[in-house]
């Protein structure tokens, strides 16, 4: 299983939120490049970079951070947050991202996203699915739709998506353990999908559990920053 460390950006700084709440913000490092380099030095190869200012504004804001990290590390970066227009997609790719992360637009404007797939290639997008009680959640997790996660995944696999990460919004940032049963169900239904677990990882045992469940990758954020997981141990998974 591949470990994908997360860096969340507000005003150019590395932060973490709890359950997507901007009021519950904690700054971990003023220089995200230092954090990214530490991940690379530990032997990790990928990075999940989230533009929280962009997510709030509905357009890419922290592309300079992406450009700096992409230019000064060899990490394979996926970047997301507020990507709603094709111009934003171009900015993200031109700034050095290997993958564009999309979430809300997949729920709200399927037609436009599929058009992007035809322009850039569906394999260049990492699809994010926020889930509450097996239903897709949007709008910063405040709104739960009637769309079942399984139907959502099936539709986008048919559109050519190969990688997806799923976050149980009740778990994210709380260090209470991941939604392993949900992930097992998804993997069983879609065995060819490069499935990435996200949210709730609190220690190495959680990561071993996810690996045994068949996850191809796991996004880890707060557990690293709070010292519950040592990045040097992550190469062994």
| Catalytic, out of 51, 78, 130, 172 | 130
Q: What HEC string does the chain produce?
A: CEEEEEEEEECCEEEEEECCEEEEEEEEECCHHHHHHHHHHCCCCEEEEEEHHHHHHCCCCCHHHHHHHHHHCCCEEEEECCCCCHHHHHHHHHCCCCEEEECHHHHHCHHHHHHHHHHHCHHHEEEEEEEECCEEEECCCCEEEEEEHHHHHHHHHHCCCCEEEEEECCCCCCCCCCCHHHHHHHHHHCCCCEEEEECCCCCHHHHHHHHHHCCCEEEECHHHHCCCCCHHHHHHC
Q: Is 205 annotated as catalytic?
A: no
Q: Is 51 annotated as catalytic?
A: no
Cite the active site residues: 8, 130
């Amino acid at each position: 299983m591949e470990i994908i460390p997360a860096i969340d950006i507000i005003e150019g700084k590395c932060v973490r939120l709890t359950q997507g709440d901007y009021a519950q913000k904690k700054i971990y490092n003023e220089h995200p490049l230092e954090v990214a380099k530490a991940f690379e030095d530990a032997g990790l190869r990928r990075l999940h970079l989230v533009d929280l200012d962009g997510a709030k504004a509905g357009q890419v804001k922290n592309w300079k951070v992406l450009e700096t990290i992409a230019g000064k590390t060899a990490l394979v970066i996926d970047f997301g947050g507020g990507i709603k227009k094709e111009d934003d997609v171009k900015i993200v790719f031109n700034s050095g991202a290997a993958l564009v992360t999309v979430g809300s637009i997949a729920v709200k404007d399927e037609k436009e996203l599929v058009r992007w797939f035809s322009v850039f290639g569906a394999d260049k997008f990492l699809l994010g699915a926020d889930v509450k009680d097996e239903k897709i959640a949007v709008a910063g997790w405040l709104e739960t739709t009637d769309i079942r996660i399984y139907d959502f995944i099936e539709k986008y696999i048919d559109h050519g998506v190969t990688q997806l990460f799923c976050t149980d919004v009740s778990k994210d940032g709380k260090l209470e353990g991941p939604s392993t049963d949900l992930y097992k169900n998804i993997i069983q239904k879609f065995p060819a999908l490069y499935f990435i677990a996200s949210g709730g990882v609190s220690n190495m045992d959680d990561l071993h559990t996810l690996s045994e469940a068949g996850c191809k990758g796991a996004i880890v954020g707060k557990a690293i920053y709070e010292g519950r997981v040592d990045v040097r141990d992550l190469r062994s998974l």
